[in-house]
Amino acid sequence: MDERVAKETRAENWNKKKSIIVGITGASGIIYGIKFVEKLVEMNYKVYVIVSEGAKKVAERENEFNILQILSNYTSNIFSEKDIDAPPSSSSFTVTTKGMAIIPCSIKTLAEIANGIASNLISRTAINMIRTRKKLVLVIRETPLGPLELSNALKLSNLGAIILPASPAFYTKPKSIDDIINFIIGKTLDSLGISNSVYKRWTR
């Protein structure tokens, strides 16, 4: 097989991969998003990541790293929330997309999606998921939750989105922070319909 044919074959195989869109917003818990992307790539998914300006700031403060540099180790498909005309902004893009997870999902992002405000690429893409009846998982990381947040979460739940608070379980007897993170990642994968063994499931 010559180099040109090999290159075309690799491109064809890449295009056949099922894709997942990941939004990372400026809520605490940026590490959830990073580890989620890492796991998807490990599972051979094509991953498109949209990073908010808030996420960049939180990553520097919370984890002391440049989130774009970290993500570039896993995928070249990285967009800023300002890239409003990027491929995920079109509802036709969702045809080959298994779904979207916003992890972590800020309360601002939750509110924008719930009220149809497509102010950036993350909220616009999430609204496309709802339009096309694709899976949308919102991993909210905030506490306590007041009536406004709960109302927006209920509105989105009624529209088919899955509200997945970053609330780790302890029946798994976690021995490290990674164990706690993996529980949320595993639950998010479950919600997207992706079989996994990332976390220890409940057994009697």
**N-term to C-term CA, the chain:** 53
172 is in an annotated binding site: no
Give every CB contact of residue 167 below 8 A, 6+ residues apart in sequence. Answer: none
Report d(CA 175, CA 28) in Å as an integer: 21
CA-closest candidate to residue 181, choices 106, 109, 104, 126: 104
197 is in an annotated binding site: no
26 is in an annotated binding site: yes
135 is in an annotated binding site: no
27 is in an annotated binding site: yes
187 is in an annotated binding site: yes
Give the DSSP per-residue string, 47-63: EEEEE-HHHHHHHHHHT
107 is in an annotated binding site: yes
Question: Which residues carry a binding-site annotation?
Answer: 26-28, 52, 106-109, 141, 171, 187
Question: Which residues carry a binding-site annotation for dimethylallyl phosphate?
Answer: 171, 187
Question: Which residues carry a binding-site annotation for FMN?
Answer: 26-28, 52, 106-109, 141
